[in-house]
Structure 1
Amino acid sequence: MVRAALAEQGDSGVTPRHTLFFFLGDEDAHGDLCEVARRAGFIARGEGDMTILETTMAVDAASFAPVSSMMQTWAAAFQLEYDGWECAVVTH
């Protein structure tokens, strides 16, 4: 849905931009996710039962597919819910 919304605004997703990923679940499970994510180059911050991972990346289908898969794998590994992602629109 996010990529469709970007396309509607003329954004192909190929320009790297600030991107956020959201995880929900037991507050105790977030520490391990944050540690793994930091090692993978993400900025990680917890807010109660939510963890937000930040990075700068392209979000076109080819660039995003492996990252999306990694997020789903992390959610399963740490028994969290991957609640999606968002990013800025870039149209230049």
Structure 2
Amino acid sequence: MVRAALAEQGDSGITPRHTLFYFYGDEDAHGDLCEVARRAGFLTRGQGDMTVLETTMPVDEASFAPVSAMMQTWAAAFQLDYDGWECAVVTN
């Protein structure tokens, strides 16, 4: 849905931009997620039952698919809910 909204505004997703990924769940599981995410180059922030991972990346299908799969894998590994992502619109 996010990529469709970007396309409607003339954004192909190929230009790198600030991108956020959201995780929710048991407060104790977030520390492990943050450690793995930092090692993978993400900035992490959060409080309580929420963690936000931040990076700068393109969000076109080819670039984004492996990152999306990684987010889903991390959510399953740490028993968290991956609630999706967002980014700024960048017209190319």
In the superposition, the TM-score normalised over structure 2's length comes to: 0.98
- Distance in 2 between the 1:15 and 1:62 partners? 13
Find the counterpart in structure 1 of residue 18 from structure 2: 18
User: 1:48 Cα deviation (Å)?
Assistant: 1.3
Find the counterpart in structure 1 of residue 90 from structure 2: 90
Unpaired segments of 5 or more residues in structure 1?
A: none
Matched, 1:57 2:44: no
Find the counterpart in structure 2 of residue 2 from structure 1: 2
User: 1:47 Cα deviation (Å)?
Assistant: 1.6
Following TM superposition, the consecutive aligned residue runs of length 4 or more in structure 1 with deviations greater than 3 angstroms are none
- Aligned residue for 1:71, secondary structure, equals helix
In the superposition, the TM-score normalised over structure 1's length comes to: 0.98
* Backbone CA RMSD of aligned residues: 0.5
